[in-house]
């Protein structure tokens, strides 16, 4: 009977060690192990060689794995977000640079370009809504029609930004006049883009080529 009891107990040992036997079977196995050295050693050997994780350990391992995955995923999302933000800034900066720096001369239009003589001072006003910058040069001593005159040169510029974006940002765009020259120091004013480098010779007639006379002292 002893041999049969041992065979039955050894068949139950794996289930007993896994903790899946009933309380009655558990008590039966533990009572037998107290009296049987061989079965007790068998049970100890099985505990040492076959150690299955408990539910708590499995859950803990799963939580750790999920945390690692979440951490990696979060880092990846942060990296992607930073790269996207950088690319967006680069594109936006490039777009703004083009829109703000692609400067063009505004063709002369007397209906939009006002000149006023206010008690001996010349004031200029641009009435359009696409103005980016105003350029003036002078008085310059230049020979015009064989005479030396004090000449002023003026022109306005526009950009894609000032044409398409700026009007949307400014609800009430003011067209304030700006002071040009005193009338006692200027004889003529021409409109047109210029490129002046260094000193200007009086007989340099090329500077006024393509420019329009818009004001002359009476």
pLDDT in tens, 79-131: 666 666 665 665 655 655 656 677 889 999 999 999 999 888 999 999 888 88
Euclidean distance between CA atoms 25 and 189, whole angstroms = 115
Euclidean distance between CA atoms 199 and 165, whole angstroms = 38
pTM: 0.53
- Residue 48 is predicted with a pLDDT of 74
* Residue linked to tokens 């039966």: 28
Token pair of 114, please? 């006002």
- Residue 6 is predicted with a pLDDT of 81
- Residue 24 is predicted with a pLDDT of 81
- Residue 78 is predicted with a pLDDT of 63
- Residue 1 is predicted with a pLDDT of 40
Name the H helices within the chain.
2-18, 23-35, 37-49, 55-101, 160, 166-169
Which tops the pLDDT comparison, 205 or 190? Answer: 190
Please provide the average confidence, as pLDDT, over all residues in the chain.
Answer: 77
Half-sphere exposure of residue 153, counting CA atoms within 13 Å on the CB side? 15
Euclidean distance between CA atoms 86 and 66, whole angstroms = 30
3-state class of 205 per DSSP? helix
Which tops the pLDDT comparison, 14 or 156? Answer: 156
Nearest to 158 by CA among 128, 115, 188: 128
Which tops the pLDDT comparison, 69 or 118? Answer: 118
- Residue 4 is predicted with a pLDDT of 46
- Residue 91 is predicted with a pLDDT of 60
Q: Which H, E and C letters describe 66-86, residue by residue?
A: HHHHHHHHHHHHHHHHHHHHH
Percent of the chain with pLDDT over 90: 18
pLDDT by residue (tens digit) across 141-158? 998 888 899 999 999 998
Segment 153-179 shows an average pLDDT of 78
Least confident of 34-38, 66-70, 124-128, 203-207: 66-70
């Amino acid at each position: 009977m002893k041999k049969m009891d041992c065979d039955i107990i050894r068949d139950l040992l794996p289930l007993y060690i896994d903790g899946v036997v009933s309380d009655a079977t558990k008590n039966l196995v533990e009572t037998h192990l107290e009296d049987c050295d061989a079965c007790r050693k068998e049970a100890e050997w099985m505990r040492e060689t076959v150690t299955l994780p408990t539910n708590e350990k499995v859950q803990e391992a799963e939580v750790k794995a999920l945390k690692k995955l979440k951490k990696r995923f979060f880092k990846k999302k942060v990296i992607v977000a930073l790269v996207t933000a950088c690319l967006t800034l680069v594109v936006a900066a490039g777009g703004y640079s083009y829109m703000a720096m692609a400067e063009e001369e505004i063709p002369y239009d007397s209906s939009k370009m006002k000149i006023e003589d206010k008690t001996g001072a010349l004031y200029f006003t641009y009435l359009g809504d696409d103005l980016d910058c105003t350029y003036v040069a002078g008085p310059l001593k230049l020979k015009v029609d064989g005479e030396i005159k004090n000449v002023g040169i003026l022109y306005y510029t526009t950009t894609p930004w000032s044409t398409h974006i700026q009007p949307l940002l400014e609800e009430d765009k003011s067209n304030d006049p700006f002071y040009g020259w005193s009338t006692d120091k200027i004889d003529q004013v021409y409109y047109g883009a210029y490129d002046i480098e260094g000193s200007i010779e009086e007989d340099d007639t090329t500077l006024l080529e393509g420019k329009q006379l818009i004001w002359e002292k009476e």
